[in-house]
Every structure is written in C-alpha cells, then in structure tokens.
Amino acid sequence: MCHSDIHRSILRNCLYTETLESYWTHCDAQEFLHAREKINAVIEIIKQTQPHFYQEFQSLVTTIIMAKPCSQKFRFDGASSYHLWGLMMLAWDDDKTELEWIETLAHESSHIYLFGLMRNQTLLEGDESYNLYSSPLRTDKRPLEGIYHATYVSARMHLAVMHYRYSHTQLFAPKEIDRLASASLRAFKDGYHTIMQHAKLTSLGKSVLEDCKKALEDPYRSLILSV
C-alpha cells in the first residue's frame, strides 16, 4: 500500500501519538474477514438506498484499512489524513449496527472530501493565536481547522442517517435514527457556534458551512436534490 518512505512515515504518524504510544493494533484474521464482509454489506446498502452518497464515496475512497484501538484512552471510530488522500482507517467494532457504520463511512469520507477541497483553497484564514477549543466530536480540545472539520462531517453524518426517515423507512428503527441524528445535529450546532464566534472564514469556507446549515434546515429537500 505504501509505495515510498514518505508515505510510510506519514502512515506511522497516523498510528502513533506524540509520545509514541500506539493508537491502533491489527485485527486478527477472523476479525478482518468479518470486518470486510460487514463493510462490503454496508456499502451495498448505501449503493441501493443512497446512490448519490455511494457515487461520491466511490470517487473519494481508494483504500480502507481495518484496525482496532489499542485502548479506550485512544478511542476513535476512524482516521484519515490530508497527506494520504483517499485512505481511511476504520476501527473495527463488532457491536456496531449497520446504521452506525453508515454514519461512520459518511464521517470519514466527508473528511476526505474536505481534504480534497483544501488542496488548492483554504477554508479558514490563518489563525495566529493557535488557541484550542472544545470539539463537538472529541473530548480533547482542537484548533479551529479541526473544529471546522468536525462541524462539516457532523452535518453529513446527520443527513446520511436522516435519509432513512424519509426513504427506505423499513430498514432501521426510528428510535435508532433519532438517537444518532440528534447527536450529530447537536454536534453541528456546537461546532457552528464555535466557528462563527472565533474563526475567520474564507469565501469557500463560508459557502460550504452555509450549505450545510441550509441542508439541515430542510433535510428532505436536500435529499431529493442529491439523488
């Protein structure tokens, strides 16, 4: 997978903390086979029920790595990197439901999408204060660029889940849809408030965020337009 020393170095940086503690460990053979079967099945559900999401996912994601968190101290659903565009690392969890996996794939593919936008343009003006803020998706405080990412992916997670409130309604229990959708909507609102209060947005950054806000205000219309 890694074709150069630079790529290998970047991947190692994704695997370890600054103190060289490992974030991840490998899945055993049985876990890997189960994970591959589950993720393929979830992607097929997306293909059959959310064709726009599926087409975007296919365009964005080139590689999926399955691993396990080393401990609850470093508990992540997944990870991706600007420097390894198209690659997502997913934390295998046998207890995760299909809808939770759909949400996770929306989460990580949305990071990859933003990384693609950032290749030639920026979302935020330079933040010389280097302040850290409460993140809507993590327990540790994050810089404003991290908050922006969390805010954007929260909106996409919400739309991916809420789709099943309006279409293919027999697939998932309304209670589970509401639980996940409520959490991601709350995360978006928290992140949006922080960004609008503290960040200086570029025209692109403002446009992307406002598009998310409009989509969340009328999710049914946004779902119709996206298919």
Read off the pLDDT of each residue in 144-165 and give the average, rounded to a whole number.
95
Q: Residues 104-125: pLDDT tens digits?
A: 999 999 999 999 998 888 999 9
| 128 confidence band (pLDDT: 50, 70, 90) | low
The ranges assigned to domains in the chain are 1-94, 121-227
Rounded Cα gap, residues 89 and 74, in angstroms: 14
Indicate the pTM of the whole model. Answer: 0.85
| 22 confidence band (pLDDT: 50, 70, 90) | low
Residue 129: the pLDDT is 73
Asked if residue 4 has pLDDT above 50, the reply is no
Which is nearest to 83 in space by CA: 9, 20, 15?
9
Residue 226: the pLDDT is 41
- C-alpha 122, offset from chain centre: 19
Rounded Cα gap, residues 48 and 54, in angstroms: 9
Q: Residues 46-98: pLDDT tens digits?
A: 999 999 999 999 999 998 988 887 766 556 778 888 888 899 989 899 999 99
Query: Does residue 22 or residue 25 have the better pLDDT?
Result: 25
Contacts for 128 with CB less than 8 Å, ≥ 6 apart: none
Read off the pLDDT of each residue in 36-42 and give the average, rounded to a whole number.
96
Residue 72: the pLDDT is 62
Q: Tokens representing 91?
A: 């934390």
| Percentage of residues of the chain with pLDDT beyond 90 | 59
Three-class secondary structure of residue 27 per DSSP: coil
Query: Does residue 219 or residue 152 have the better pLDDT?
Result: 152
CB 7 within 8 A of CB 84: yes
Read off the pLDDT of each residue in 196-221 and give the average, rounded to a whole number.
88
Residue 78: the pLDDT is 83
